[in-house]
Amino acid sequence: MNPTGNLNNNERDIERLLAALSPAAGPSREDVLFEAGVRAGRRRVHAWQGLSGVLTVALVTALVVSASMRGPAPAPQGSVVQFVPVAAPAKAPDASPVEPVSTFVGATLESNPSSYLNARNVVLKDGLDALSRLQPPPPSAKPARAAFPTRKMLGGDES
């Protein structure tokens, strides 16, 4: 049964009169459609943001897992250089002063008759014929250049 069938004529009249009134305008249709478009765009942006967030989390997780599977990082390898101050040995009271290197070398070279300097001086003085007078050094002779007196220069024992 349709309950509206029980309305009397008076009720139908007032119903019809009221229905003839048009409700005042509500929100603008354009505003609603514009807002709908804005929300649709926002949803799309949120989808992209969510997707990129998930991918970032997955990437970080993969990096952490792979790093933990590799084991702990090896300790850094390196050499430690330690400088230990060493007290200089007391200087012997009778130690002779160190000779200048140039003097020592020059004296050694010039005292050797077969040295280059000696040969040069001879050639400059007497000409090339004088070279024949120069005697080659005996096989057992000391080398033209003596050992550099490093230990002596540092104040150590020469022997």
Partner 1 sequence: MTPLELAALFDAHARALTLYARGFLADPQQAADVVQEAFLRLMSQAKAPKSVRAWLYVCVRNEALTLRRSLRRRQARHEAVATMTPEWFERDFASGLDARAAREALQELTPEDREVVVLRIWGDLTLREISEITRRPVSSVFHVYRQALAEIRQRMGIHESNRQP
Where do contacts with partner 1 occur on this chain (CB under 8 A)? 3-4, 6-15, 17-27, 29, 31-33, 35-36, 39, 43
Between 32 and 55, CB nearer to partner 1: 32
Q: How far is the CB of 13 from partner 1 (least distance, A)?
A: 6
Structure tokens belonging to residue 74: 């090896």
Work out how close the CB of 46 gets to partner 1 at its nearest, in angstroms, rounded to a whole number.
Answer: 13
The residues near 106 (Cβ < 8 Å, ≥ 6 apart) are 117
> Euclidean distance between the first and final Cα of the chain, in Å?
138
CB of 74 to partner 1, least distance (A): 56
In terms of CB distance, is 38 or 67 closer to partner 1? Answer: 38
Select from 157, 139, 158, 136 the least CA-distant residue to 147: 158
